[in-house]
Amino acid sequence: MRAYHLTSLDTPPELTTLDAPDPAAGEVCLKIDACGLNFADLLMIKGQYQDMPPLPFTLGMEVAGTICAHAADVTGLGIGTRVAVFGGAGGLAEYGVFDAARVIRIPDTMTFAEAATFQIAYGTSHLALDHKAQLKPGETLLVLGAAGGVGLTAVEIGKAMGARVIACARGADKLEIARRAGADHLIDASREDIRAACLALGGLDVVYDPVGGDQFTAAMRACNPEACILSIGFASGDVPQIKANHLLVKNISVMGFYWGGYLKFRPDLLTRSLATLLEWYGAGRIRPHVSHTYPLEQVGTALELLRSRKSTGKIVVTMT
């Protein structure tokens, strides 16, 4: 099979040929149709991700495809079942083996491309806003990086939860994508003062921040008393250094959130969250936005597009 493989942090990953894997106990083998790209893939290539698999490994965190084999102890997941999996790695290949406990069936109406982008982005936004921030109807939510992979889902989910959503992104084209996802107000980060714009709208109750850097600081300065800031990631490359006295004065909470970490200590929360999200998908309340699709031979181009932050929503690599 073809696979996009990383053998060393000193050399770039490359598309190579490997033996197709066989499932071990508790595993299924997928004929992979699509793999969604994530910012974490770029961090893994540099050895900077917080949950690195041991080298060598095949990149690609989340996939969708069809079960083509399974171990004898796996039941209820027959050959030919359409599924999605968050495997953490192994997705940028034509076949992959994954823990059967992580497999979710996907609706017949959901394409493989949609399914391959669904779990991390929507799971992150739903669990962060619902479980961590406990976002309430009528509250004001600021979403930074609002046209990106996770940001766009936060706009959708915030709106579905009844919040007033302010979307912040760079440029009119990206803001239009956020508006279509349900944003009530738009801030162009390339030319507007984020703090001033948010204060003019009455201040912020919840901040969803996958960007970090100066945008985090501007948003914090626009927070209302008892606001909550969700630190999702640092796409800007700048990890904010927070002065605790600034949090104290307004009674602000800053909460770190890593969706994958819940697999280790509260997988039940992920299961319930994904069940809710699939219900919302079936009802048409959320709809994944895939801006670009590339074949496996062009995975390098796809990753460069992700690195440049010129895409909106999600980028998908297909195997056929």
* DSSP per-residue string spanning 137-165: TT-EEEEETTTSHHHHHHHHHHHHTT-EE
Pair 308, 194 in one domain: no
Q: Is the pLDDT of residue 60 over 90?
A: yes
Pair 255, 304 in one domain: no
Q: Is the pLDDT of residue 246 over 90?
A: no
Q: What domain range includes position 50?
A: 2-118+288-318
- At residue 221, the pLDDT reads 96
Task: Find tokens 């490997």 and name the residue.
Answer: 18
Pair 62, 178 in one domain: no
Q: What would the DSSP string read from start to end of 52-95?
A: PPPSSEE--SEEEEEEEEE-TT--S--TT-EEEEE-SS--SBSE
- At residue 310, the pLDDT reads 84
**Residue 264 placed within a domain:** no
Digit-coded pLDDT (tens) for 28-43 = 999 999 999 999 999 9
The alpha carbon dihedral of 240, 288, 270, 158 has a sign of positive
**Residue 153 placed within a domain:** yes
Residue 320 banded pLDDT, cuts 50, 70, 90? confident
Number of domains in the chain: 2
- Contacts of residue 109, defined as CB under 8 A and 6 or more positions apart, other chains included, come to 282
- At residue 197, the pLDDT reads 98
**Residue 282 placed within a domain:** no
Digit-coded pLDDT (tens) for 75-131 = 999 999 999 999 999 999 999 999 999 999 999 999 999 999 999 999 999 999 999
In this structure, of 219-223, 254-258, 306-310, the range with the lowest mean pLDDT score is 306-310
Please measure the distance between the N-terminal and C-terminal CA atoms of the chain and give it in whole angstroms: 12
At 5 the three-state DSSP class reads: strand
* Whole-model pTM over 0.85: yes
How far, in Å, CA of 230 to CA of 220, rounded? 11
Residue 135 banded pLDDT, cuts 50, 70, 90? very high
CA dist list (Å): 10 to 55, 79, 100:
12, 39, 33
Q: Which of 163-194 are b and which e, b meaning 16 or more Cβ less than 10 Å from the residue's Cβ?
A: bbbbbbbbeeebbebbbebbbbbbbbbeeeeb
Pair 126, 221 in one domain: yes
190: domain CATH number?
3.40.50.720
- Mean confidence (pLDDT) of the chain: 95
Pair 169, 293 in one domain: no
Q: What one-character DSSP code corresponds to residue 183?
A: -
57: domain CATH number?
3.90.180.10
Pair 127, 253 in one domain: yes
Pair 43, 142 in one domain: no
- Are 42 and 112 in contact by the 8 Å Cβ rule? The answer is no
Task: Report the percent of the chain where pLDDT is more than 70.
Answer: 100
**Residue 276 placed within a domain:** no
**Residue 275 placed within a domain:** no
- At residue 276, the pLDDT reads 95
**Residue 138 placed within a domain:** yes
Digit-coded pLDDT (tens) for 274-315 = 999 999 999 999 999 999 999 999 999 999 999 998 888 899
- Residue 146: alpha-carbon gap to chain centroid: 12
Residue 263 banded pLDDT, cuts 50, 70, 90? confident
Q: Is the pLDDT of residue 237 over 90?
A: no
| The residue type at 103 | V
Pair 125, 43 in one domain: no
Residue 7 banded pLDDT, cuts 50, 70, 90? very high
